[in-house]
Chain A
Amino acid sequence: MTRSAMDGFRATAHELRSLQAQRLMRLLFLMMALLLLVPVLGILGVLVVEGAPGMTWEFFSQKPSKLGAAGGIYPALVGTVWLTAVALMVALPLGVAAAVYLSEYARDNWLTRIINMAIVNLAGVPSIVHALFGVGAFVHFMNFGESILAASCTLAVMTLPVVIVSTREAMQAVPKAFREACWSMGATRWQTIWSIVLPNSVSGILTGLILVVSRAVGETAPIMFTGAVFLRLVPPESVFDRTMALSFHLYTVSTQVTGVPRHVPFAVALTLILVVLTMNALAIWFRMRLRGRKKW
């Protein structure tokens, strides 16, 4: 019989010290994790407390007056929807097509590696650099002028890496066995993609897409030189119009205009955050549905 067993399996002094250290570290890590909540709760708390008085129906439905110091944000809200929607219409087909190629057709060769490297680098480019690229490429070279089209194309280029990577991952999550089954029966790659791979990755693609939307909604730099304006009292009517946007409006009312009541910038920011949070909630809901449905 060993000593500890004779002693009723009592822990030794050494073990007690290890246990104590383990509890201490656990506490430490918990604190660090909890610390993360502080900025989130802080931001939301301040915005709700400060911005709530400004959140009225008139605020959402009326056009601004006194350079945004009074009135509402209606044109900016509509403008943000335009910018985001057009950006999606550009980024979605391009990104999904590229992802289909990379996931289903590309072999591991130098070309594929260069493309992958380009995607990673594109994701790492600062948004203000995208803005300058947008001015050069879309406003001047493509001659779109400063417009929703130019701004949305810039947003699309910026969000393309996310669309590609999330779509590719969603497609890669479809088991290889399904592809083999299709091929072994004589399906071409395209038949396999169309009948099996895409239908089974569509929820994942949508999830990625919504994340992209929430990113595009909030961006300021890429649109401020390419199509967003300080003040335009009517909502845009075509993609060649310039437009107000929530994110840019937040910037102007908080830094460029004097005499703005304290609650206005907070209310704009709260609206922006609510739009983004709604998008993220949708993404989470989609992901949960995806998990519930997959049974292979």
Chain B
Amino acid sequence: MVDLPKRRPDEVLVHAKEAPPAIEVARLNLWYGKFQALHDVDLTIKSGIVTALIGPSGCGKSTLLRSCNRINERLGYVTTTGTIKVLGEDIYGEQASRIQVRAHVGMVFQRPNPLPLSIRDNVLFGHRLHATRHSSRADEDGMVEQALREVLLWDRVKDRLQHKATGLSLEEQQKLCIARLLPTKPTVLLMDEPCSALDPEATSAVEDLIWDLRGHYSILIVTHNMAQARRASDECVFMLMGRVVEHSATEAMFVSPQQQQTSDYIEGRFG
């Protein structure tokens, strides 16, 4: 036995090979009307790390992501078979409520979409939906500060919490969109190309933030940007035509992809 050096608490979480998986997808098939978008997807997303979903447009990566908090159901013509478990519980199970699922699995969209409310009300929006009783003003203040600190936005907006969130810069808006998920204490954060509407500097700031949140949350991120997947993820999942082609540690995938299709895509031969 060797004495390991003491880790900081958030590093312990990062080193989480033994922790139960964040998301387990089993034999997932999904149809939009008659079009089958996902074919027998089996996938295990580890807890506490950043997993990137990559693949060409229309490969089903966004569909898979959106299935994980059941937002797809809003489209009336979607049929799903198979299971998705979050922390071991089936989110499509009979007793599972969409609303509870969404409190635990947060979603960040491609274009920052803060609500047309004040910054403060944006952060508290999700909490107020799910809270069973009214929180005191002091509790709410604490929640706002903590969430905004977590996304490194507190110092920039603390003096204008009553201002409209839609007046923030895109980078700040996107960070706010992450912050507003945190008060309901989610375990998984889904991000659908969270940087594609941002300029390079803002992209790098948001990537840094994602890297910062890693460990506290399990993060599944869809990206078109190979460099981003390589920079900002621990594991990578390559999808093609609604199927998972390859799933491995990011470095491994970029250095020595196992499948021909993966290496073709990574090298930019299609997509």
B116 is contacted by which of A178, A180, A183, A188 (Cβ under 8 Å)? A178
Q: Is B93 an interface residue (CB 8 A)?
A: no
Interface residue stretch chosen among B41-49, B107-115, B153-161, B224-232: B107-115
User: In whole Å, how far is B166's beta carbon from the nearest beta carbon of chain A?
Assistant: 5
Asked whether A178 lies within 8 Å of B98 as measured between CB atoms, the reply is no
Asked whether B99 lies within 8 Å of A188 as measured between CB atoms, the reply is yes
Asked whether B166 lies within 8 Å of A296 as measured between CB atoms, the reply is yes
Asked whether B116 lies within 8 Å of A185 as measured between CB atoms, the reply is no
A186 is contacted by which of B103, B111, B114, B117 (Cβ under 8 Å)? B103
Asked whether B166 lies within 8 Å of A295 as measured between CB atoms, the reply is yes
Q: A184 to B178, alpha carbons, bound, how many Å?
A: 12
> If the complex has contacts A178-B115, A180-B113, A200-B116, are A186 and B129 also in contact, measured as CB distance less than 8 A?
yes
Asked whether A186 lies within 8 Å of B98 as measured between CB atoms, the reply is yes
Residues of A contacting B: mostly: helix
Asked whether B167 lies within 8 Å of A177 as measured between CB atoms, the reply is no
User: In whole Å, how far is A257's beta carbon from the nearest beta carbon of chain B?
Assistant: 56
Q: Is A137 an interface residue (CB 8 A)?
A: no
Q: A295 to B114, alpha carbons, bound, how many Å?
A: 12
B69 is contacted by which of A177, A181, A184 (Cβ under 8 Å)? A184
- Chain A 278-296, CB-CB to B under 8 Å as 1, else 0, gives 0000000000000000011
User: In whole Å, how far is B184's beta carbon from the nearest beta carbon of chain A?
Assistant: 8
For B102, the chain A residues whose CB sits under 8 A away are 183-186
Q: A178 to B117, alpha carbons, bound, how many Å?
A: 11
User: In whole Å, how far is B144's beta carbon from the nearest beta carbon of chain A?
Assistant: 15
Per the 8 Å Cβ criterion, residues 100-136 of A in contact with B are 107
Q: A180 to B115, alpha carbons, bound, how many Å?
A: 10
Of chain B, the residue at the smallest CB distance from A108 is: B76
Number of A positions contacting B (CB below 8 A): 19
Asked whether A185 lies within 8 Å of B109 as measured between CB atoms, the reply is no
A296 is contacted by which of B76, B103, B116, B177 (Cβ under 8 Å)? B116
Asked whether A107 lies within 8 Å of B76 as measured between CB atoms, the reply is yes
For A178, the chain B residues whose CB sits under 8 A away are 113, 115-116
Q: Is B55 an interface residue (CB 8 A)?
A: no
Q: Is A275 an interface residue (CB 8 A)?
A: no
Q: A168 to B180, alpha carbons, bound, how many Å?
A: 29
Asked whether A295 lies within 8 Å of B113 as measured between CB atoms, the reply is no
- Chain B 75-109, CB-CB to A under 8 Å as 1, else 0, gives 01000000000000000000000111111001101
Q: A178 to B165, alpha carbons, bound, how many Å?
A: 12
Q: Is B243 an interface residue (CB 8 A)?
A: no
User: In whole Å, how far is A165's beta carbon from the nearest beta carbon of chain B?
Assistant: 23
Q: Is B164 an interface residue (CB 8 A)?
A: yes
User: In whole Å, how far is A188's beta carbon from the nearest beta carbon of chain B?
Assistant: 7
Question: CB within 8 Å of B: which residues of A?
Answer: 107, 175, 177-178, 180-188, 191, 195-196, 200, 295-296
15 additional contacts, CB 8 Å, given A180-B109, A182-B125, A296-B166?
A177-B111, A177-B113, A178-B115, A181-B115, A183-B71, A184-B71, A184-B102, A184-B109, A185-B180, A185-B181, A186-B99, A186-B103, A186-B129, A196-B116, A200-B116
